[in-house]
Amino acid sequence: MSKLRVAVLGAKGRMGSEAVRAVEGADDMELVAALGSEDPRNTLTDAGAQVAVDLTRPDAVMGNLEFCLANGIHAVVGTTGWTEERLETLRGLLAASPGTGVLIAPNFGIGAVLTMRFAQQAARFFESVEVVELHHPNKADAPSGTAARTAQLIGEARRAADLPAQPDATTTALDGARGADVDGVPVHAVRLRGLVAHQEVLFGDEGETLTIRHDSLHRSSFMPGVLLGVRRVPETPGLTFGLENFLDLD
């Protein structure tokens, strides 16, 4: 069987360099290009890439995807910064390239995917909920894509259960003290030297609390998810949002 021809964008970055090693170590894949910010995108077509893994920056990913979709290259995207508006633009690009697949994974770690699923399940049972994400201080965006997605899933589950807005009697606060409001859920971002990627989802109700915590202690934790995405995306045209769609969680 011929090997999947894979390119990594952002190849010199923290995640990209790990992805380069993972692709090189996969028996069914061949790393055909490893691009940094200075490399022209046509390196991808010249190398005959079938799947591009984007681990760049929120301000770079859309241009990369435009190029990939215009050239029928499937994409596995770990880069963050996805708003509904950006997703809509991407859906438009995909409509013009119907056989091509894009996976956007807010988090490739199985523990993080499970955290989101468990939080979604717990959401309707608790009056209060807050999300705290904790990352290394070189991270460009806040809150993390994972925290934003977690809060969105919780918000959807609360609405589906007809829960009211959660109680919060704060009338005076320093700016930012209550975190960012994502879909009615306060999200707090910690940046601390020594950390990699961590998240706590705190639920509370009368007389009890529930904490769901996940820790990525090394970026190798994301690599099985990246490789799964690379294997599955060529057979999955259109937009897939979330690695859970490629996992049998139920």
Ligand X SMILES: O=C(O)C1=N[C@H](C(=O)O)C[C@H](O)C1
Ligand Y SMILES: NC(=O)C1=CN([C@@H]2O[C@H](COP(=O)(O)OP(=O)(O)OC[C@H]3O[C@@H](n4cnc5c(N)ncnc54)[C@H](OP(=O)(O)O)[C@@H]3O)[C@@H](O)[C@H]2O)C=CC1
The residues annotated with a catalytic role in the active site are 135, 139
Strand order in the sheet with 238-241: 29-35, 4-9, 51-54, 74-77, 101-104, 238-241
Q: How many residues bind ligand Y (CB under 6 A)?
A: 25
Contact 48, 22 (CB under 8 A): no
Q: Helix 14-24 vs helix 223-232: angle between axes, to the nearest 10 degrees?
A: 60
Give start and end residues of each alpha helix (H) in 74-222: 84-95, 110-122, 145-160
Binding positions for ligand Y, 179-238, rule CB under 6 A: 222
Among 124, 139, 178, 231, binds ligand X (CB under 6 A): 139
- Taking CB under 6 A as the rule, does residue 13 contact ligand Y? yes
- Taking CB under 6 A as the rule, does residue 12 contact ligand Y? yes
Query: 156 by DSSP, 3-state: which?
Result: helix
Binding positions for ligand X, 10-49, rule CB under 6 A: none
In angstroms, the CA 184 to CA 166 distance is: 8
Residue 105 in marked binding region: yes
In angstroms, the CA 200 to CA 239 distance is: 28
Binding positions for ligand Y, 106-145, rule CB under 6 A: 106-108, 145
Q: Out of ligand Y, ligand X, none, which partner does residue 56 contact, by CB within 5 to 8 A per kind?
A: ligand Y
Smallest separation, CB 55 to ligand X (Å): 9
- Taking CB under 6 A as the rule, does residue 221 contact ligand X? no
Tell which phi-psi region holds residue 98, choosing left (phi > 0), alpha (psi between -120 and 50) or beta. Answer: alpha
Q: In this complex, which beta carbon is closest to ligand Y, that of residue 35 or of residue 126?
A: 35
Among 146, 152, 221, 240, binds ligand X (CB under 6 A): 146
Q: Where does this chain bind ligand X (CB under 6 A)? A: 80, 106-107, 135, 139, 144-146, 197
Annotated binding site for NAD(+): 10-15, 38, 78-80, 105-108
Annotated binding site for (S)-2,3,4,5-tetrahydrodipicolinate: 136, 145-146
